[in-house]
Amino acid sequence: MHDFKFKNGELYCEDVRVRDAAVKVGTPFYLYSHNTLRDHFTKIQKAFAPVEPLICFAMKSNDNLAVLKTLANLGAGFDIVSGGELKKALRTGVSADKIVFASVGKTEEEITDAINAGILLFNVESLPELEEIHRIAQKMNKKPKVALRINPDVKALTHAKITTGTLKNKFGIDLQTARKILRSAAKYPNVQLSGLHIHIGSQITTRAPFLKAMTKVLEFLDVLKKDGVALEYLDIGGGMGIIYKDEQPQTAQDFAEAVLPYLRKTGLKIIMEPGRFIVGNAGILVSRVLYLKDNGFKKFLIVDAGMNDLIRPALYDAYHEIVPIVETKARKVKMDIVGPICESADFFARDRMFPALNNGDLLAVMSAGAYGYVMASNYNVRGRPPEVMVKGDQFEVAKQRETFDDLMRGETVPSFL
Ligand code: LLP
């Protein structure tokens, strides 16, 4: 379900006409639906209610404060991957003991800050990292909880660039090493080895890879039990796929029905880290048509948003539905929908049948809520677009458009030039 719908021929986000938001804030801009966020979060919460999981929103997918606050208000915790995300998460007022911290490259400063904040769990991705956390904790006279992120060596059946759970990927600890670590817990008196973590990839639309991974987890937990290792948490990561085009991903309910029996068997406290499932379809990128160009061979609809605003098509060949925000009778022709950036990879759609819009017409790139703004850059000295949140018939800019002054902050010409 999402709350972007056509009413009387115009696209609305909840009760706000997208055109009205565009007039107010200019283009391009991201628009988020509060109600959609709430709905998706609640769907997971309800589906998994039997194990009462802590749902830690993967804030790498969208770290806008309005989005984070919406979810924190609903009881979400956060899955973070950097010291910056830690600070931003804490700005929402969330309790630090609802924060879990993954990342293969945590620095001393990040580890220190997270221990000081009192986060729930470090999801540890290697033996040297565990030793570093232990060293720092010892120095601080603390004993943080850690979970080992295990690499189950399972293919996620998704795009290669977002597969994380095979031994070809840099993530997690192979099972043999993880077992060795857990058996030698006495070597690490300043950490509590409290759990296991898995995350095998993103935009996974079928349950098979999850179940394969869960089977491996259960087998591994059995081995650990025989070793006399007792744990408290199992963090099952994120990865649930959404609809971009014609995918038929499992619903939260289907997913829960399949996974719950495994989770119950573990007897552990469950943590989940969904990102895309919650926010993917809760956001759109609105852009304005600049030109329709025809080079005799091909047509290009040139819009004012670019790959610096939304890089998913360029980086992953990702498909995003695109719609004119006012229904049109304009003839559909085959075209590329592209941005103004000086790169051939700067496209939103290739060879798409799309109405031949006019200069000034507005269109929306759908399902842009996850890994959209967060991956935006200032390439070509372009300020990042504003982020706007809608709740019912209200909308407000939650993050301002970057100005040229913002972009120049901290940049100077060296004195020797
Ligand atoms: N937990 C961990 C440890 C992760 O690495 C990720 C995503 C998640 C949770 C959330 O996964 P989700 O529920 O959103 O699938 N930029 C790419 C996706 C990168 C995913 C990175 N890790 C994209 O635009 O498709």
Question: Has 56 been annotated as catalytic?
Answer: no
Q: Domains (ranges, CATH) in the chain?
A: 4-31+280-408 (2.40.37.10), 34-279 (3.20.20.10)
How is residue 398 written in tokens?
């939650």
The total of other beta-carbon atoms located within 10 Å of residue 31's CB is 26
The total of other beta-carbon atoms located within 10 Å of residue 375's CB is 16
pLDDT of 21: 98
pLDDT of 158: 75
Ligand 1, atom 19, lies closest to the CA of: 162
Q: CA 299, CA 330: separation in Å to the nearest integer?
A: 15
DSSP assignment, residue 97? G
Distance 61 CA to ligand 1 centre (A): 7
- Please count the residues of the chain: 417
For 147-177, give one letter per residue: b (16+ CB within 10 A) or e.
bbbbbbbbebbbeeebbbbbeebebbbebee
Intervals of the chain under pLDDT 50: none
Whether the Cβ atoms of residue 41 and residue 71 lie closer than 8 Å to each other: yes
Contacts of residue 292, defined as CB under 8 A and 6 or more positions apart, other chains included, come to 299, 300, 301, 302, 335, 356, 357, 358, 359
Q: CA 232, CA 126: separation in Å to the nearest integer?
A: 20
Residue among 61, 125, 243 whose CB has most ligand 1 atoms within 8 A, to mutate? 61
Whether the Cβ atoms of residue 281 and residue 242 lie closer than 8 Å to each other: yes
Q: Are strands 10-13 and 121-124 parallel, antiparallel or unpaired?
A: unpaired
Residue ranges around ligand 1 (CB below 6 Å): 58, 60-61, 79, 102, 162, 199, 202-203, 237-240, 273-277, 312, 316, 370-371
Q: Are strands 283-294 and 29-33 parallel, antiparallel or unpaired?
A: antiparallel
How is residue 38 written in tokens?
């709430």
Whether the Cβ atoms of residue 111 and residue 133 lie closer than 8 Å to each other: yes
Q: CA 318, CA 77: separation in Å to the nearest integer?
A: 28
pLDDT of 157: 72
pLDDT of 12: 98
Q: CA 162, CA 165: separation in Å to the nearest integer?
A: 10
Residue among 37, 170, 276 whose CB has most ligand 1 atoms within 8 A, to mutate? 276
279 residue type, one letter: V
Whether the Cβ atoms of residue 81 and residue 231 lie closer than 8 Å to each other: no
Each residue of 313-351: pLDDT tens digit?
A: 999 999 999 999 999 999 999 999 999 999 999 999 999
pTM: 0.97
